[in-house]
Each structure stands twice: as C-alpha cells, then as structure tokens.
C-alpha cells in the first residue's frame, strides 16, 4: 500500500461518507454508512470510522484521515474550534486522540460570524474546494440544502455569510404540516415553480398566506399534487432569494451542491437576472479536504 495514500471523510448529521485517496487527490475507492453524528456517542465515532476504512489501512504505518462536517460539532467526536469571519475557509485543524495507531485523524474547523450570529460546519470545506479550483474567485457562493448557506468571498476569505432554513422548512411542511395532504414530493410542475418564484419576489409579505393557499387550492381549485410541490418549493426558495439579495447584487453566483437542487436555484436566479455556475458538492468537499491535507503535510 502506498504510504502517501490518505482518507477523506464527510461526516454529517445522518451519514458518514469516506473516500480512499492517493497523493494526487484521486479517488481510489469509497464507502458510506448511515452512522451519522445523531446516531453516535463520542466514544463510538472511532469504531464507526474503522468499520468503513479498515480495508484501506496498513499495519506498518499510520494513515492520515481528514474529516469535515458535524463530526467536529459539540455533539460530535471532538469539538473543533470555529474560525471567525473574515477568515480563510480552512485553517488550524484539530487532531483527534485515537486508540488505533493505524490512523491520524484531523477535523476541519467550522466558521462563525458574530453579527448577525451564524455558524457553518462542512460548507467551509466545500468553499475551500471552490477556491482551490479558482483562486481568483471573488463573489457570492450559495450552498443549497437542509440549511442553505450564502457566503461572500473576498480575496480568498469568507467575509460574511447567512444561513436559511429552507430545506428543513420544506421537509417539515411537506411531511408534517397540513400540506402533507396536498404535496407529492415526487411530482413537479416547472411552470408553476417559475411563476411562484416571480410572485414571491414581488410580494414576499404574502408568503405565509400563500403557503396555506396551497392547501385550499388543492381542495377547491384542482391544484395537482405536483403543482403543489412546485409551489411550495417556489415560495420557500423565493423568500430565501429575497433575503439573500445582499449576496446577489453583483450578479454571478457559484452554486455548490446536489445537481438537481442546484438546477432549481439556477432557474430561480435566472428569473432574478443573476447568472449561476454549478459545482458538485462531492468534488468541492474532496478538493477542500485535499487542501486541508496539504496544510498538515506542508506540501
């Protein structure tokens, strides 16, 4: 086994994703599990990690493991300190004490902002990956997801950011609220989505009323379940974009995330007159973790 090989880890709330990497940052293999932070106690993290990566380890030397995400939260394996904005996305990694001599584990720090109060863990690594791909990048980055992040990048630093609860609100409303009787998350209507984005941006004060109107329209106006889903998404993404205008005022936005969701955001941004480029969250995570490894080795 090549002694320069290393392991990249993205450890979130619900999932653990690992990649066996070579010294050039190429993927050799990957494995994942549902042993996310929420399912583990602090003394269970090492065993959960080893259950996936043991086949990649050697007995005659230690392998570096670079991890990002909620693994470094207060409820995770070991709390990694936050860097304060303005700051580089990744610096001052935290080494985790381990019992297995075959591994050296380092966790990327999160980023905090005091005013307005905000935090991120994991997204900073994806931002680092984006900057590693384009070291001249200056502007807005949007990372759509359960907790969507918008960040302003200036001269290689995160100067400010804001979190929107869009994805979590969608899940709660679509699955737990009265709208669960109206929305089919597997159906879709592009035209309804686009019209709703425009409507929401024009009248953001109407959003909570329009949310209930989705239910009323399915009862008395034959709104289809797919149209209801598109309308719910349009209202929530639309109100997010209204709140993120401070980040989009210069036009271009780099979207980092799952392709299908990024395509929705790109469509919505186009309605606003903003251009968007889409970048794979996995690729940006691995580029960011590769950068973190270089900080450890001094390469």
Give the Cα separation of 191 and 230 in Å (integer): 9
Express each pLDDT in 141-171 by its tens digit. Answer: 999 999 999 999 999 999 999 999 999 999 9
Q: Report all structural domains of the chain as residue ranges with CATH numbers, in order of start.
A: 6-121 (3.30.420.300), 163-280 (3.30.420.310)
User: With contact defined as beta carbons under 8 Å apart, do 201 and 238 qualify?
Assistant: yes
pLDDT, residue 129, reads 98
**Taking a C-beta distance cutoff of 8 angstroms, is the pair 36, 70 a contact?**
yes
Closest Cα partner for 264 from 289, 241, 288? 241
Reported residue count of the chain is 299
Mean of the pLDDT values across residues 204-214?
96
108, 78 contact by CB (below 8 A): no
The model's pTM is 0.95
160-163: Cβ within 8 A, 24+ apart = 160/85, 160/86, 160/113, 161/85, 161/111, 161/113, 161/118, 161/120, 162/116, 162/118, 162/243, 162/244, 162/246, 162/247, 163/118, 163/119, 163/120
Question: How would DSSP label each residue in 226-277?
Answer: HHHHHHHHHHHHHHHHHHTHHHHTTS-EEEEE-HHHHHHHHHHHHHHT--EE
**Lookup: tokens for 117:** 């109060």
Asked if residue 142 lies in contact with residue 272, where contact means CB atoms within 8 angstroms, the answer is: no
Of the listed ranges 116-120, 172-176, 246-250, 284-288, the one predicted with least confidence: 246-250
Rounded Cα distance between 217 and 181, Å, is: 12
pLDDT digits (tens, 9 = 90+) for 108-127: 999 999 999 999 999 999 99
269/71 Cα distance (integer angstroms): 32
Each residue of 220-272: pLDDT tens digit? 999 999 999 999 999 999 999 999 998 986 668 999 999 999 999 999 999 98
The residue written with tokens 């293999």 in the block is: 29
pLDDT for the residue 162: 98
Decide: 112 and 83 in contact? Cβ < 8 Å.
Answer: yes
Q: What SS3 class is residue 30?
A: strand
**Residue 155 and residue 141: Cα distance in Å, rounded?**
14
Contacts of 142 (CB under 8 A, 6+ apart): 148, 149, 150, 244, 247, 253, 254, 255, 256, 265, 276
């Amino acid at each position: 086994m090549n002694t320069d090989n290393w392991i990249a880890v993205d450890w979130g709330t619900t999932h653990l994703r690992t990649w066996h990497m070579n010294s050039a940052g190429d993927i050799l293999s990957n494995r994942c599990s549902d042993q996310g932070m929420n399912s583990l106690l602090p003394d269970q993290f090492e065993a959960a990690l080893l259950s996936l990566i043991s086949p990649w380890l050697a007995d005659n030397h230690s392998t570096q493991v670079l991890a990002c995400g909620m693994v470094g939260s207060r409820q995770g394996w070991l709390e990694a300190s936050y860097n304060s904005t303005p700051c580089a996305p990744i610096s001052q990694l935290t080494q985790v004490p381990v019992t297995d001599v075959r591994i050296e584990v380092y966790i990327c720090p999160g980023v905090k902002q005091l005013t307005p109060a905000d935090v991120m863990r994991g997204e900073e690594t994806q931002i680092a990956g984006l900057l590693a791909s384009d070291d001249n990048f200056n502007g807005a980055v949007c990372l759509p997801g359960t907790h969507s992040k918008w960040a302003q990048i200036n001269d290689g630093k995160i100067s400010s950011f804001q979190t929107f609860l869009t994805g979590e609100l969608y899940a709660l409303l679509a699955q737990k609220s009265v709208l669960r009787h109206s929305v089919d998350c597997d159906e879709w209507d592009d035209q309804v989505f686009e019209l709703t984005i425009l409507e929401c941006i024009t009248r953001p004060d109407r959003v909570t009323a329009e949310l209930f109107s989705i239910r009323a329209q399915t009862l008395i106006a034959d709104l289809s379940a797919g149209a209801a889903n598109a309308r719910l998404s349009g209202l929530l993404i639309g109100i997010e974009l209204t709140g993120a205008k401070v980040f989009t005022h210069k036009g271009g936005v780099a979207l980092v995330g799952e392709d299908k969701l990024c395509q929705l955001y790109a469509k919505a941004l186009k309605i606003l007159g903003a251009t968007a480029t889409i970048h794979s969250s996995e690729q940006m995570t691995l580029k960011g973790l590769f950068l973190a490894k270089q900080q450890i080795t001094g390469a």
